[in-house]
């Protein structure tokens, strides 16, 4: 009995250490954003699909693995647990600790966009974040993550998770 408990504990510890936590910044894009992006939950994403239902996001080019116009990168379809903690000046937001799981459907381009121009996963953007997730407003991800925080840009953590932790359906 005692041996079984020890083994279980060891297995959990290994599982936990495999999930690296990155510092991440979070933005919002889609219908009604400042850049007139239009609906982000469409088949013309860089990955060629959208989610309905299910939270989705565009991820920094360093992790997406392909540039603009190059189509689906290796980052397509990966799932990430995002946790918001602070606003852009490091002050705790009202819903600090709030988490959602998103599926990557799009690319956040590096060129001309310092937010998503990290040089590899050890690189950082202007908020010290290794990754930026531009959450898709039309998938409901932005509302679910930012909630009533009142901020448009948040900072927190991102951990890649198994997609069995994501709920939704991919539409091709
Ligand atoms: C608008 O585009 C700029 C430049 O690409 C980017 O830095 C900014 O985060 C975008 N804003 C939103 C709300 O997506
Ligand atoms: C961050 O939150 C603090 C405390 O609420 C506030 O004073 C500050 O203006 C906020 N900064 C930004 C960039 O929103």
* Domains with residue ranges and CATH for the chain: 20-171 (2.40.40.10)
As a whole number of angstroms, the distance between CA 117 and CA 123 comes to 9
Choose one of 26, 32, 33, 34 to mutate for the ligand 1 pocket test, by most ligand atoms within 8 angstroms of C-beta: 34
From the CB of 64, is ligand 1 less than 6 Å away? no
- Does residue 105 surpass a pLDDT of 80? yes
Mean pLDDT of 101-105: 98
Q: Nearest ligand to the C-alpha of residue 126?
A: 1
Cis peptide bond prior to 172, omega within 30° of 0: no
pLDDT (0 to 100) of residue 19: 84
Look up the pTM and report it: 0.89
Q: How confident is the model at residue 11 (pLDDT cuts 50, 70, 90)?
A: very low
- Does residue 43 surpass a pLDDT of 90? yes
Instruction: State the residue for tokens 């903690």.
Output: 85
From the CB of 27, is ligand 1 less than 6 Å away? yes
pLDDT (0 to 100) of residue 18: 58
Is residue 55 within 8 A of residue 100, CB to CB? The reply is yes
């Amino acid at each position: 009995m005692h041996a079984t408990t020890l083994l279980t504990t060891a297995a959990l510890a290994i599982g936990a250490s495999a999930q690296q936590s990155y510092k991440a910044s979070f933005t919002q894009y889609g219908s009604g954003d400042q850049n007139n992006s239009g609906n982000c939950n469409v088949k013309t994403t860089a990955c060629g699909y959208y989610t309905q239902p299910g939270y989705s996001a565009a991820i920094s080019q360093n992790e997406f693995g392909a540039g603009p116009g190059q189509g689906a990168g290796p980052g397509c379809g990966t799932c990430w647990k995002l946790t918001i903690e602070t606003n852009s000046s490091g002050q705790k937001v009202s819903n600090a600790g709030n988490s959602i799981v998103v599926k990557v459907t799009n690319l956040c381009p590096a060129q001309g966009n310092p937010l998503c121009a990290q040089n590899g996963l050890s690189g950082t953007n202007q908020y010290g974040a290794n990754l930026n997730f531009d959450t898709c407003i039309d998938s409901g991800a932005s509302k679910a993550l930012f909630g009533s925080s009142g901020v448009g840009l948040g900072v927190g953590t991102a951990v890649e998770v198994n997609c069995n932790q994501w709920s939704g359906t991919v539409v091709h």
